[in-house]
Structure formats: C-alpha cells, structure tokens
Amino acid sequence: MVNKIKTCVFISGKGSNLLSLIKSSREYNFPIKINLIISNNIKAKGLNLAKKYNIPYRFISSKNQKNFERNCLYEIKKRKIRFLCLAGFMKILSNKFISDFGYKIINIHPSLLPKYKGLNTHSRVLKHKERYSGCTVHFVDAKLDSGRIILQKKVSIDKRETKNSLKQKILLQEHKLYPQSIISIFK
C-alpha cells in the first residue's frame, strides 16, 4: 500500500468537500489518509460522514480560541497528523497554531482569490456584476484567504445567476479541485 500522509480535516458545516476528500483518500494512489475530523460545530452534518466512513472525529468548541487551538493540537499530535485540510471551516487559525502545527495547512475558498476574501462571496460577486467566479485552494497563513495559491478553477456567471445557483456551480468544481490540489502538492 502507498505510504499515505496522516491528515486531519477541520469542518464547520455539511461536509460536501469533506465527502469529496474521503472518497479520494480511499483511492490506492491518493497521497493522504484522513485519520481525524475536527468540527467546531456540534451540529455539523459533516460529522455524520465521519461516523458513516468510520473516521475518528472530535467536536471541539471554538468559543475560546486558545482552548480550541490547544485541544486541536493535542488531538492532532497524538495521532501524528502531518497535513491539515480546512473544508468549510468557518474560523481563522492563529499564527501560533499554524507555527505550532508545523506542517502544511490548506483551505478551499469559493472565489478566485485574491478577489472576494472572507464571507458572502457569491453575493458580493453578483453585486459587482462579475463575469467569472470560481474557487481557489491555497496554503493557510496568518492572513485571511491570503496564502499562496495552489490551484484555481474558473466558472462563467450567467445573466440570470442567483446566489444559490452560483454556489452550486462552484461547489461542483470545489469537489474536483480540492483532491487535484492535494495530488499536486505531493507529486
């Protein structure tokens, strides 16, 4: 068997990108194995995927950032995790956490960074009458959605596009782009 990199995925929501990563990670030549899923939201639907696919998971409250990060690092180091994927994780990690972890952390964002960092990207894209949007996988650094870009996928915006239709169109691309990005990192 391929020597896979022990990986943790941080989630806050329904976990559609998590599902894409789980399915990819089960392929023989895919470079990572998901050994842990951490959610800062006890009601995150993505936790059901952890149960379904028999992947260890933890809910860790993020009400106190220091405690959250300390507890996450404990769980990660205990399992010798060497790679971290943020998949719909709605918190910013501190510089201290990033340096204490000491390995690569990546994130997927639903815009063509550096445009439209942060939240409500689809609404802002439509408000500014953009002709294109898309998604970006990037390395995580201390600034919001500012790390080095790994891969991007562009989608065209139809004249009758709504926030929800654009979200769904981009989400389909995210599910392909995230695994492609991981492969490109570990080539």
Torsion of CA 120, 123, 128, 131, to 10 degrees: 110
Active site residue 175: no
34 backbone dihedrals φ, ψ, rounded to 5°:
-80, 110
Task: Return d(Cα 8, Cα 47) in angstroms, integer.
Answer: 13
Burial 154-181, CB ≥16 within 10 A → b, else e = ebebeeebeeeebeebbbebbbebbbeb
Segment holding 72, helix H or strand E: helix 65-78
DSSP string computed for 36-63: EEEES-TT-THHHHHHHTT--EEE---S
**CB-based contact 128:157 (threshold 8 Å):** no
Q: Residues 109, 122, 138, 175: which is the catalytic one?
A: 109
Q: Active-site residues: which are they?
A: 109
